[in-house]
Amino acid sequence: MNLHEYQSKQLFERAGIPIPKGITVEQLSEVAYAASEIDSDGCSDQEWGQV
């Protein structure tokens, strides 16, 4: 089975498995707001390149 991250999170959520909240931002100006919405001490950056 080949799943994208968002698909596996959906499956986990349906099964009652807790998953960390995540917010995708596209602009640097959105980072502060996103960080304030997530109850976490961590942050991850993932760059998938130009589409």
Domain ranges, ordered by start, for the chain: 5-37
What integer pLDDT is reported at residue 12 of this predicted model?
93
Q: Among candidates 33, 17, 18, 34, which has minimal Cα distance to 44?
A: 34
pLDDT of 14 strictly over 90: yes
What whole-number distance in Å separates Cα of residue 37 and Cα of residue 15? 24
Q: Among candidates 7, 6, 11, which has minimal Cα distance to 23?
A: 6
CA angle 19-42-18, nearest 5°?
10
Higher pLDDT, 4 or 38: 4
**Residue linked to tokens 């596996």:** 8
pLDDT of 47 strictly over 70: no
Decide: pTM greater than 0.85. no
What integer pLDDT is reported at residue 16 of this predicted model?
96
